[in-house]
Amino acid sequence: MLEALEGSAAVARAVARCRPGVVAAYPITPQTHIVENISKLVADGKLHTELVSVESEFSAASVALGASAAGSRAYTASSSQGILLMTEVLFNISGMRLPVVLTCANRAIGAPINIWNDHSDSMAVRDCGWIQLHCADNQEAVDTSIQAFRIAEAAELPVMVCMDGFVLTHTLETLEIPDQDMVDQYLPPFHFGRMLDPRNPLSLGTLVGPEYFSETRHLAHQALLDAASIIVDADRQWQELSGRSAGGLLTVEGPKDARIGVLAMGSLVSTFRAAMEGTQTSAPGRLINLRAFRPLPVDSLRQACDGLSDLVVVDRAISPGFGGVLGGEIRAALSGMTQAPRIHNVAIGLGGRDVPMEMWGRLLNVPAEDAGFRILDLEPAKLGDAS
């Protein structure tokens, strides 16, 4: 049944449908409404879970770690500086192969302080060993939240569901919350084979010296790579049940004969979809919606770029002194590909800067401008004497 719901409320409802055993979180804009709504579901008796109000994000992640290790389905959520404060624990959660699910309500990182949306936070923890999935709209955020638990538990890896702060979290729109029976059918109760249990003692996260550390890293890398097929299966099976795909590893949209492609993640994809529908007159472009940032689906990316002369990679996070984070990754992924497209990299929409529909046409023109990495929606007049 369709409902009109705010993104945060919808994700809270979707998480509740997954019957988490433990939820631990500390509020931070723009994640706050997700946790508020979960708290309300608990207070109203609609969700039976151990809700732990902690004093920091470090503790939120630590509680989720402990709960998961003890065999509970564990959930947390954060944004921006909160993700940074969790960072040490995020590495530990993946290192211990614990299937925690976290919603990252994507927000810029200060200084200067900025509460609005870009991808600096999830990019800053790019290498923490978590699966990272991006959502183009709130229906995808709902469906991906449910899929995340199934993926995490099948892969024994944590999953970060990235949804753009404000642009998705604070947008009320028409969407569908799947009913409990459907979610129960999709997501069986969590049974953790390596659960901490006094009757069957074992240790997690023990000291590993040079004799075995490389092997643990190899296994972690392999586990992330192997998760790609789990992500695809989880989405396919969800589609069979619900009738909706949330985008697999990536989606390719637009005319087959387009020579220029645009690759983006998150809610920008939704605006570009609208722009493509309305611009029969402008040059056609192919839209590549990268849902899985980790594991990075190199083979699928190469197939998605087949036939392109140029690919414009759109970043919402920059690595100062280098350029776009995603741009660097895609260059590496396509390096050595026969007939690889020329790759162009721009950043837009940093710190919540609005990205209008006209940006689609502007991006398709980037190859003709033949310039290096730049912030495409920069307003040079505002640089003043600093330039």
Partner 1 sequence: MIEVRIHGRGGQGNVVAAYLLATAAFETGRHCQAFPSFGAERRGAPVTAFVRIADHPIRRRCQVATPAFLVVQDAGLLHIPATLDGLIAGGGILVNSPRTSAELTQEYARPMTALPATALAQDILGRPVPNVALLSAFLALTGLMPAEALVKALAHRFKGDVLDRNTRLIEAVTHHVAAGAWKEIAHA
- Give the footprint of partner 1 on this chain (CB under 8 A): 2-4, 6, 29, 115, 137, 166-168, 170-174, 267-268, 270-271, 273-275, 277, 354-357
The sign of the torsion formed by the CA atoms of 92, 97, 100, 101 equals: positive
30 or 323: CB nearest partner 1: 30
Give 26 or 360: the residue with its C-beta nearer to partner 1.
360
What is the closest distance, in whole angstroms, from the C-beta atom of residue 228 to partner 1 in the complex?
A: 27
Taking the complex as a whole, the smallest distance from the CB of residue 241 to partner 1 amounts, in Å, to: 21
How far, in Å, CA of 326 to CA of 310, rounded? 16
Minimum CB–partner distance for residue 262 and partner 1 (Å): 15
Give min distance, CB of 287 to partner 1, in A: 12
Cα(16)–Cα(170) distance, integer angstroms: 19
**Cβ within 8 Å of residue 278, ≥6 positions away:** 357
Of residues 156 and 253, the one with the C-beta less far from partner 1: 253
Q: Per DSSP, what are the bridge partners of residue 152? A: none
Q: What residue ranges in 197-341 does DSSP mark as E strands?
A: 250-253, 260-264, 286-290, 292-294, 310-315, 318-319, 323-324
Q: Pick between residue 137 and residue 143 the one whose CB is nearest to partner 1.
A: 137
Nearest CB to partner 1, comparing residues 2 and 386: 2
Secondary element (H or E) of residue 237: helix 213-242
How would you classify residue 166: left for phi > 0, otherwise alpha for psi between -120 and 50, otherwise beta? Answer: left
Largest CA distance in the chain: 69
Beta carbon of residue 70, minimum distance to partner 1 (angstroms, whole number)? 37
Closer Cβ to partner 1, 271 or 300, answer by number: 271
CB 326, CB 266: distance < 8 Å: no
Ramachandran angles phi, psi of 31, nearest 5°: -80, -20
Measured from the CB of residue 382, what is the shortest distance to partner 1 in angstroms? 16
Both tokens of 68, joined, read 């998961």
